[in-house]
């Protein structure tokens, strides 16, 4: 059940109105989640800034989408899972890649280790140890990649939490 309605730019607080109008000018429309986030200018600005920043991660797009799929597979947000499934396909992931990623797995053991780590960061961050980080380094992952994973997981948690609280469902 929908609990928070999306806003039209004219009905949004001034700061959110400006952000929505900018998005519409560049893309023609805003998505349901963004229009609903417009109730909170601070949340909307933070989401947009974090989203833009994480588009500059040094991970290949396919791997970035696999991380998001792993996070959303654990979280259970149908809206986010549908969006990342479509983005994964657009990035060239196969149905098998997508299915494995939603289970925090991959055919490549290096990627599987990173996806498992991503879900641990999401589900039980206090359990991550120095040995876990060292194991990722042993798979060839850099500290930058490890930090990027934490950022991607955080963005996925934000969108999932917001969509569930607002009652946003996949179309």
pTM of the model: 0.90
- Per-residue b or e along 39-73, where b marks 16 or more CB atoms closer than 10 Å to that residue's CB: bbbeebeebeebeeebeebebeebbbbbbbbbbbb
Q: What is the pLDDT of residue 77?
A: 77
Do 75 and 137 lie in one domain? The reply is yes
Do 32 and 80 lie in one domain? The reply is no
Do 91 and 38 lie in one domain? The reply is no
pLDDT at 80 over 90: no
Rounded Cα gap, residues 5 and 35, in angstroms: 8
Structural domain boundaries, residue 110: 61-165
* Model pLDDT for residues 6-53, shown as the tens digit of each residue: 999 999 999 999 999 999 999 999 999 999 999 999 999 999 999 999
Residue 4 in any domain: the answer is: no
Q: What CATH number is given to the structural domain containing 151? A: 1.20.1290.10
How many structural domains does the chain have? 2
pLDDT at 171 over 80: no
Do 139 and 123 lie in one domain? The reply is yes
Residue 3 in any domain: the answer is: no
Residues 6 or more apart in contact with residue 134 via CB below 8 angstroms: none
Do 33 and 68 lie in one domain? The reply is no
Tell me, letter by letter, the H, E, C secondary structure of 79-114.
HHHHHHHHHHHHCCCCHHHHHHHHCCCCCCHHHHHH
Q: Are 51 and 155 in contact (CB under 8 A)?
A: yes
Rounded Cα gap, residues 13 and 90, in angstroms: 34
């Amino acid at each position: 059940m929908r609990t928070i309605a999306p806003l039209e730019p004219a009905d949004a607080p001034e700061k959110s109105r400006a952000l929505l109008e900018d998005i519409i000018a560049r893309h023609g429309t805003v998505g349901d989640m963004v229009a609903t986030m417009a109730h909170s200018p601070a949340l909307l600005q933070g989401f947009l800034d974090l989203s833009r920043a994480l588009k500059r991660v040094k991970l290949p797009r396919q791997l970035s989408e696999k991380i998001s799929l792993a996070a959303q597979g654990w979280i259970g947000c149908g809206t986010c899972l549908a969006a990342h499934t479509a983005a994964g396909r657009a990035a060239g992931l196969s149905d098998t890649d997508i299915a494995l990623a939603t289970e925090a797995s991959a055919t490549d053991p290096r990627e599987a280790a990173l996806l498992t780590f991503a879900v641990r960061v999401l589900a039980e961050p206090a359990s991550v140890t120095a040995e876990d980080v060292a194991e990722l380094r042993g798979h060839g992952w850099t500290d930058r990649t490890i930090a990027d994973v934490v950022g991607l997981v955080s963005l996925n948690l934000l969108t999932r939490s917001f969509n569930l609280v607002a009652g946003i469902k996949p179309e």
